[in-house]
Amino acid sequence: MEQGLEQLAEGLWAARRDGGTVDPAAVTLPVSDQEAYAVQDAVMRLSGLAHHAFKVGSTSAEAQKILGTTEPGSCPVPAPYLLQSPANITLVGAHMPALEGEFAFRLGADLGPRADNYTYDEVADAVDAVAGAIEVVGTRFDGGLAGKGRFLTTADCGANIALVVGPWEANWRDFDLKAHEASLSINGTQKGAGTGSRALGDPLNVMVWLANQQSRRGRGLKAGDVVSTGTCTGLDGVRAGDTAVADFAQLGQVAITFD
């Protein structure tokens, strides 16, 4: 990876760690998917943090329109940023934080690298449980990510700030996740709402996409990995002092207070 992109990765990790931002006009930016994921990989390496979770974004038509893309993107979630509900999270206003209510899966079996694509049924058989989740998203780039394309979002670790998961449900096949409703409230006022179909038509379709992407990247997915599958409630801004609750009906609630 060229020096300019390595410096970008250093800046993005420092901004996440310390609460700063990066001026996109003052750095070398990725111009391809390959370069964007190389920056992301470098950020993860610089963090020195383990991970056993992934976020997948741009899985709804609205999110793809905002970023000017036609496909999802992914990023590992470092271990300290994967939390169980109820959670308390400190926000950095300059990161333009917002919330997304989405479904998360936990794997009970490996989906390792291989030549052939994984099928829907193979991925479903590897799933151990499902949960409701809130992803806290934001950008370490000055001015936000709207209109800047998928490459910058990918480089900026998928704009992930944190992922908070609710109670796990092992009998997940009893639920029609495509039709399952989710809603998000902030300070007691309902904001976004939707169903699982907002995420590539079915949250499990997102799992299939990620399993095959990570297979091609040489890691695959591993038993115990947690995967968030993209917003079903839209994108709602949040500020320090707020309290948020995502309601997933029979799957329970996810709650966060923000400092």
pLDDT score at 145: 72
- Provide the token pair at 65: 């329109």
pLDDT score at 223: 98
Residue 109: which residues within 8 A CB-CB, separation 6 or more?
125, 126, 128, 223
Helices marked H in the chain — which ranges?
A: 3-18, 33-47, 61-67, 120-126, 150-155, 203-216
Q: How many CB atoms lie within 10 A of CB 195?
A: 17
218 is a domain residue: yes
- Sheet strands (E) in the chain: 51-57, 73-78, 82-84, 87-89, 98-107, 127-137, 160-165, 181-186, 189-195, 226-231, 236-237, 243-247, 253-258
pLDDT score at 146: 72
* Burial annotation 34-60 (CB, 10 A radius, 16+ → b, else e): ebbbbbbbbbbebbeeebbbbbbbbbb
Closest among 90, 95, 130, 123 to 109, alpha carbons compared: 123
37 is a domain residue: no
109 is a domain residue: yes
Q: How far is CA 254 from the centre of its chain?
A: 16
Domain with 105 in it: 50-258
205: domain CATH number is: 3.90.850.10
Tally of domains in the chain: 1
15 is a domain residue: no
**DSSP state for residue 218 in the 8-state scheme:** T
Dist. CA 92–CA 81, nearest whole Å: 14
23 is a domain residue: no
pLDDT score at 15: 97
4 is a domain residue: no
161 is a domain residue: yes
Residue 139: which residues within 8 A CB-CB, separation 6 or more?
95, 96, 145, 153, 156, 159
pLDDT score at 70: 67
Q: Do 53 and 167 contact (CB within 8 A), yes or no? A: no
168 is a domain residue: yes
Dist. CA 177–CA 129, nearest whole Å: 12
Residue ranges of the chain with per-residue pLDDT less than 70: 62-70, 147-148
